[in-house]
Amino acid sequence: MPGELSPIDKAKFVAARKSVDYVEDGMRVGLGTGSTAAWMVRCLAELVRENGLRIKGVPTSTRTAELARELGIDVISLDEAKWLDLTIDGADEFDGDLNLIKGGGGALLQEKIVATASDQMIVIADVAKEVDTLGAFPLPLEVIPFGWQTTQALVEEMLISLDVMGRETSLRMNGDRPFITDEGNYIIDLHLNRIGNARQLAMAVNQMPGVVENGLFIDICDVVIVGHGNGKVEVRDINEGTVEESRLDFLEEENLFSDLGE
């Protein structure tokens, strides 16, 4: 099975596999959402099953919760956990300061709440997610359904005065209906192309009535683990100012791949 993975999936897998080295027995761990985070959940489940690792997982979406339970991870709510030792999640983009765009999977609100309730946030990503300047990936805004078109129009007007390259916005759809988040909200995607001042933009959009939260994660991420298709892994620690490299041998990971079923 490892040999059948695409280079991108191999990159996601090695980043996810490296990230679980940070998880220790007895920890309360935030479980991210998305394709890379799903690999991480599988890697954690293998440690629970094979090594007897005891953890409490706090999922950032219903689909992550379902996967974690299915694989045997003990799942609790954030209210039960109160505070987390660690959150591991993916990202749609990250820059050199480890600022992120998240929310491509529609779980940005719960992801940000869980990440900020953690002693440490680790982001796992393939190398294609690294950018010089955030903004090529559409920035999601979670908005309440009431008056969403008014909210959208006000956001578009506000963007005129901000340092962005594009100002097109769109309501995220699920087929012929609006996409609905786990909290029952809509998502408006901002197609900005380039964000000149991410901190200013994050503060501005969150002042807009109707906007619940935005997908910019500023000064939240502590470590980014970057996977490459050849098995190379880079660990970048923003607090320590270090970059470490290693390599993962796929032949050692047969147990994890044997029960994928997909």
Q: Is residue 115 part of a domain?
A: yes
Q: Which residue has the tokens 């950018």?
A: 131
Q: Is residue 262 part of a domain?
A: no
Are 64 and 193 in the same domain?
no
Report the 10 Å Cβ neighbour count for 4: 8
Are 105 and 47 in the same domain?
yes
- The pLDDT tens digits of the residues spanning 164-193 come to 999 999 999 999 999 999 999 999 999 999
**At residue 258, does pLDDT exceed 90?**
no
d(CA 200, CA 113) in angstroms, rounded, equals 20
Are 117 and 234 in the same domain?
yes
Q: Which residue spans within 46-138 are E strands per DSSP?
A: 56-59, 86-89, 93-94, 100-101, 121-126
Tally the C-alpha atoms within 13 A of residue 78's C-alpha that lie toward its C-beta: 17
Mark whether 24 is an active-site residue: no
Are 90 and 163 in the same domain?
no
Are 30 and 150 in the same domain?
no
Annotated catalytic residue within 111, 130, 168, 254: 111
Are 178 and 147 in the same domain?
yes
Q: Is residue 26 part of a domain?
A: yes
Q: Is residue 134 part of a domain?
A: no
DSSP annotation of 72: T
Name the residue among 13, 1, 5 with its Cα closest to residue 233: 13
- The pLDDT tens digits of the residues spanning 237-254 come to 999 999 999 998 865 555
- The pLDDT tens digits of the residues spanning 151-167 come to 999 999 999 999 999 99
Q: What's the token pair of residue 146?
A: 């009431």
Are 147 and 239 in the same domain?
no
Q: Which residue spans within 138-237 are E strands per DSSP?
A: 139-143, 168-171, 173-174, 177-178, 186-191, 211-214, 216-217, 223-227, 232-237
Average pLDDT for residues 58-63, to the nearest whole number? Answer: 98
Are 112 and 9 in the same domain?
yes
Q: Is residue 149 part of a domain?
A: yes
Are 33 and 123 in the same domain?
yes
Query: How does strand 93-94 pair with strand 121-126?
Result: unpaired
- The pLDDT tens digits of the residues spanning 97-116 come to 999 999 999 999 999 999 99
Q: Count the residues in the chain.
A: 262
Q: What's the token pair of residue 117?
A: 């309730």
**Residue 211's domain is classified under what CATH number?**
3.30.70.260
Q: Which helix (H) or strand (E) covers residue 245, if one does?
A: strand 242-247
Q: Is residue 227 part of a domain?
A: yes
Q: What are phi and psi of 205, to 5 degrees?
A: -70, -30
Are 208 and 229 in the same domain?
no
> By residue range, what is the domain housing residue 204?
139-215
Q: How confident is the model at residue 2 (pLDDT cuts 50, 70, 90)?
A: low
Tally the C-alpha atoms within 13 A of residue 58's C-alpha that lie toward its C-beta: 25
pTM assigned to the model? 0.93
Q: How many domains does the chain have?
A: 2
Q: Is residue 196 part of a domain?
A: yes
Q: Which helix (H) or strand (E) covers residue 68, if one does?
A: helix 62-70
DSSP annotation of 25: T
Q: What's the token pair of residue 38?
A: 């799903």
**At residue 96, does pLDDT exceed 60?**
yes
**At residue 229, does pLDDT exceed 70?**
yes
- The pLDDT tens digits of the residues spanning 212-223 come to 999 999 999 999
**Residue 229's domain is classified under what CATH number?**
3.40.50.1360
C-alpha 57 chain-centroid distance: 15
Q: Is residue 85 part of a domain?
A: yes
Are 199 and 235 in the same domain?
no
Are 251 and 199 in the same domain?
no
Q: What's the token pair of residue 54?
A: 């005891």
- What is the side-by-side strand order in the sheet with 232-237? 56-59, 28-31, 86-89, 121-126, 223-227, 232-237, 242-247
- The pLDDT tens digits of the residues spanning 121-149 come to 999 999 999 999 999 999 999 999 999 99
Residues forming a β-bridge with 219: none
